[in-house]
Chains A and B, each alone.
Chain A
Amino acid sequence: MPDPILLLKAMALAAAIAALAVLLTGLPWRSPRWGIATASGVLGVALGFGISSRWLGIRATWPPKEATDRLLLVVLPVVIGVELVGAAAGKFRWIVWLLRAVVAAFAARILVDKSAYIADLSGPDSRLWDETQTTKILAGLGITLALVWAALLLQLRRPAGRAVPFAVAGTCVAAGATTMFSGYATGGGQLGLPLGASIVGAFLASLLLSGRRATGGVVSFGVVGLFSYLVIGRLFAELTTTNAALLFFAPLLCWLPELPLVRRLPVWLRSMLGILLTIVPVAIALFLAQQKFAADSVKSAPDSGELSPEDYMNFGK
């Protein structure tokens, strides 16, 4: 595991930059227009995430060689662009939903580009997915992302929707730790944690501003980041399908307090309930990943006893 103190500093930096960016763009107006608030939110979270990741030493190469390069240099910038278009679209806001659908359709395809899954890298017919499998898997992933993204944005509009950014942020942080247990230390700890922290920073800052909260862009950035991150962990590291699914669907539990029987509860209680419910699958995923890591370690080195992640991932300072 990378230095925990360094990671905490990076998270604080991400949250502070995101919050500052939101406050700077929002303060002159005090009651910022919806478009400006949305733009400041998405730019804030992107800045916080980008600067803190760079501060942690994460470098993306251009042209992109790996899935993480494509996440940082293609997928997330496209999401920022889409949300900015949405912020500027005014009454033509349906355009942003169309663009989000396009992003959902192609995000996974971009991430697996030139990989052993879809390219014959080890000789003729060596690709891991044939044409039919590729179509089914990528379509399934695209539809899943679109549905979860839409469901979370719709929940965000409801009174208890303030739970959504916290749920997405917390899941990003947990996804970072889970991916780290799944054999991807730098991508795990060093991307998921700043992503979660920047979402929290941007959202909290948006609460300080008067006027209408507009955190759709923040949540969009987080959801696509989380999705991409889990796809990379599942396909390029050792993240299990169960853990990836538990983590990706966890924020959807924010919808449960909207069920008829509990809908009468106060908004703050429903928000809190949404966050607590999200924690359950996230904690299960973390536990399963830690157990698998420990089992793999003991299996390979029985005389060493139960090894900790630090044995392999903390490369010493």
Chain B
Amino acid sequence: MRKRFAGCLIAVLVAFVGAAPVRAADEFTIDPVHSGVYFKILHLGLSNVFGRFNEFSGTFTIDPDDAGKCAFAMNIKTNSVDTNNGARDNHLRSPDFFNVKQFPAIDFRSTSVKAVNGGYEVTGNLTMHGETKPITFTLMGGKKAELKGVTRTGYSTELVLKRTDFGVGANIPPAALGEEVHIAIGIEGTKK
């Protein structure tokens, strides 16, 4: 009798656990129309020159219950660099800077994600100009919205990289072109 009761209890528990709503991680694709990758860099120590990359793509996975299961990946086409000046953009595409025919993409893959207040602290490997370095930044956001039946969410971040860590413009002195590149990224993703 006691064995039968125990068996029933286990069956009920299993059924209960199985029926509990487990929220799966959501996968999103970056919407390039509502996302952007911008940068600024100090020129001659005077003022910032601004630019952006017009072509990029990526995906990210959000698990609201387990930040460890979140992941972010982004690929930026270096050829799409745009500083609103053709001659300067050509120079940026040349081996003096990005060398786009040798290194056509900047790639980021997260390796760990931690939840922080209002977003995530993301650590991952950034590959640029043939160099891969670990970087960490904080992504803020995570609100969701429905648009034409598609769930959207978005995050943004600002980070600072040293261009010479990646060998970009290695022969251009820091006094002439700032070492630090300030980057602002906003991503809006559509749920798959």
Chain A interface (Cβ within 8 Å of chain B)? 57-59, 61, 65-68, 114-117, 121-122, 126, 128, 182-187, 190, 232, 235-238, 293, 296-297, 299-301, 307, 312-313, 315-317
Contacts and interface: CB of A to CB of B under 8 A. Distances in A.
Nearest to B84: A300
B105 A121 contact: yes
B166 to A, nearest CB: 11
A117 B101 contact: yes
Contacts of B91: 183-185, 312-313
A312 B88 contact: yes
Given A116-B104, A235-B101, A307 B95 contact: no
Interface of B: 44, 77, 84-91, 93-96, 99-105, 129-130, 167, 170-173, 175-177
A296 B99 contact: no
B contact patch SS: loop
Contact of B85 (A59, A116, A117, A300): A300
A245 B158 CA distance: 45
Contacts of B105: 121-122
Contacts of A58: 171
B96 A187 contact: yes
Contacts of A65: 102, 129-130, 167
Contact of A316 (B90, B170, B175): B175
A296 B87 contact: yes
B153 to A, nearest CB: 26
Scoring B84, B88, B167 by chain A CB atoms within 10 A of each residue's CB, the highest score goes to B88
Contacts of B171: 57-59, 186, 190
Contact of A236 (B44, B95, B170, B173): B95
Contacts of B93: 183, 237-238
Contact of B94 (A236, A297, A307, A315): A236
B167 A116 contact: no
Contacts of A61: 167
Contacts of A122: 77, 104-105
Nearest to A65: B130
B94 A237 contact: yes
B95 A121 contact: no
A297 B86 contact: yes
B95 A184 contact: yes
Contacts of A296: 86-87, 90
A316 B174 CA distance: 10
Contact of B99 (A126, A236, A315): A236
Contact of A315 (B85, B170, B176): B176
A293 B167 CA distance: 26
Given A117-B101, A121-B104, A183 B172 contact: no
Scoring B88, B102, B105, B172 by chain A CB atoms within 10 A of each residue's CB, the highest score goes to B102
Contacts of B103: 121
B44 A315 contact: yes
B81 to A, nearest CB: 12
A315 B99 CA distance: 19
Contacts of B87: 183, 293, 296-297, 300, 307, 312
Given A117-B101, A316-B176, A186 B167 contact: no
Scoring A190, A235, A312, A313 by chain B CB atoms within 10 A of each residue's CB, the highest score goes to A312
A238 B95 contact: no
B79 to A, nearest CB: 9
A114 B171 CA distance: 22
Nearest to A126: B104
Nearest to B77: A122
B95 to A, nearest CB: 5
Nearest to A304: B85
Given A116-B101, A186-B96, A300-B84, 18 more contacts: A114-B102, A182-B90, A183-B90, A184-B91, A184-B94, A185-B91, A185-B96, A186-B95, A187-B96, A190-B171, A237-B94, A238-B94, A293-B87, A297-B85, A297-B87, A300-B89, A301-B84, A316-B175
Scoring A117, A121, A184 by chain B CB atoms within 10 A of each residue's CB, the highest score goes to A184
A115 B105 CA distance: 12
A315 to B, nearest CB: 3
- 3 shortest A-B CB distances, which residue pairs? A315-B176, A183-B90, A300-B86
A57 B172 CA distance: 10
Contacts of A232: 95
Contacts of B130: 65-66
A171 to B, nearest CB: 21
